Amino acid sequence: MRIITWNINSVRLRIPALAKVCAILDPDVVCLQETKVPDDMFPSGEITELGFNHIIHSGMKSYNGVAILSKDPVKLAKTRKWCGKTDCRHIAANLSNGIELHNFYVPAGGDIPDRTLNKKFDHKLQFLSEMQDWFFSMPKADRILVGDLNIAPLEHDVWSHKQLLKVVSHTPIEVDALFALQNSNDWIDTVRYFIPPEKPVFTWWSYRNRRWPGNNRGRRLDHIWATKTLAPRLKNAGVFTQARGWEKPSDHVPVLLDIVS
């Protein structure tokens, strides 16, 4: 089974790019973030034509939104209101192979890394804390967590560790919160399970970088985690970097995991 996660930054705008990704990578399950479309306008017909007959989504106009597309049947799983908001940042499904799949879009956190001065940053840290508590309280199970977590935790997950230590997405308080979340359910960071931590890996590049690959000032904000119970079934993980150089790209690229189904 191949699972892909991708912050598509408007699913309706990037249906051609989604079709191209699926033609090249041939995923069984695709998890999307920032779909930016209310549920009654979700392009289910166009996505079904790509081979995904089972679709669940949670969306709102112009902002946020998450979706799970699957070739095999899926069943909607338990979710909740995060930080008391109904802002379409999480959807979960039980896959046909028994794995519980969670798709998240964690708040970006604004520009100022101070939760007192910046309500968006406080929201982000509260969201991560609630995720940690929620997964810690769950019974053990085979789970996969994917999504745009908006944190690049390791030194080589950013183009310059030193210069980004005070920039939202790589600050120590965010990194600590992400590691606490990772420990809450014995998660494996699957990309770093296969790619050594000393090798630079990025999944996001600002639109300000108008030439591709330009200066390659990226960050690894998009993740696929698996519980340790799934470790024997993990086959491969990686980043489909070339999609960032396509016409009208998302600022994120797909991340993939291959797992024995």
pLDDT of residue 209: 79
- Residue 145 pLDDT greater than 80, yes or no: yes
Give residue 212's pLDDT.
81
The CB density around residue 197, as the number of other CB atoms within 10 Å, is 14
For residue range 157-183, what is the model confidence (pLDDT) as tens digits? Answer: 999 999 999 999 999 999 999 999 999
User: Is 261's pLDDT higher than 90?
Assistant: no
The string of pLDDT tens digits covering residues 72-85 is 999 999 889 999 99
Q: Give the pLDDT score at 149.
A: 98
Instruction: Find out whether 82 and 89 touch, Cβ atoms under 8 Å.
Output: yes
Q: Are 106 and 89 in contact (CB under 8 A)?
A: yes
Domain range spanning residue 23? 2-259
Kindly list the distances between the CA atom of residue 192 and the CA atoms of 4, 122, 202, 252, in Å, as whole numbers in the listed order. 16, 28, 12, 18
Position 97 pLDDT exceeds 80 = yes
pLDDT reported for residue 171:
98
pLDDT at 222: 99
pLDDT, residue 56, reads 97
User: Residue 220: what pLDDT?
Assistant: 98
CATH number at residue 128: 3.60.10.10
What is the three-state SS of 220-254?
A: CCEEEEEEHHHHHHEEEEEECHHHHHCCCCCCECC
Residues 88 and 148 sit within 8 Å (Cβ to Cβ): no
Q: State the pLDDT at residue 211.
A: 80
pLDDT at res. 36: 98
* Residue 208 pLDDT greater than 90, yes or no: no
Mean pLDDT value across residues 136-149: 96
Q: Quick one: tokens of 67?
A: 């979706």
Share above pLDDT 90 across residues of the chain, in percent, rounded to a whole number: 95
Residue 123 burial (CB count, 10 A): 20
**What are residue 36's phi and psi, to 5 degrees?**
55, 45
- Provide the pLDDT for residue 210: 76
Tokens read off for 113: 């890394």
Mean pLDDT value across the chain: 97
Number of domains in the chain: 1
Contact in structure between 74 and 54 (CB atoms under 8 Å) = yes
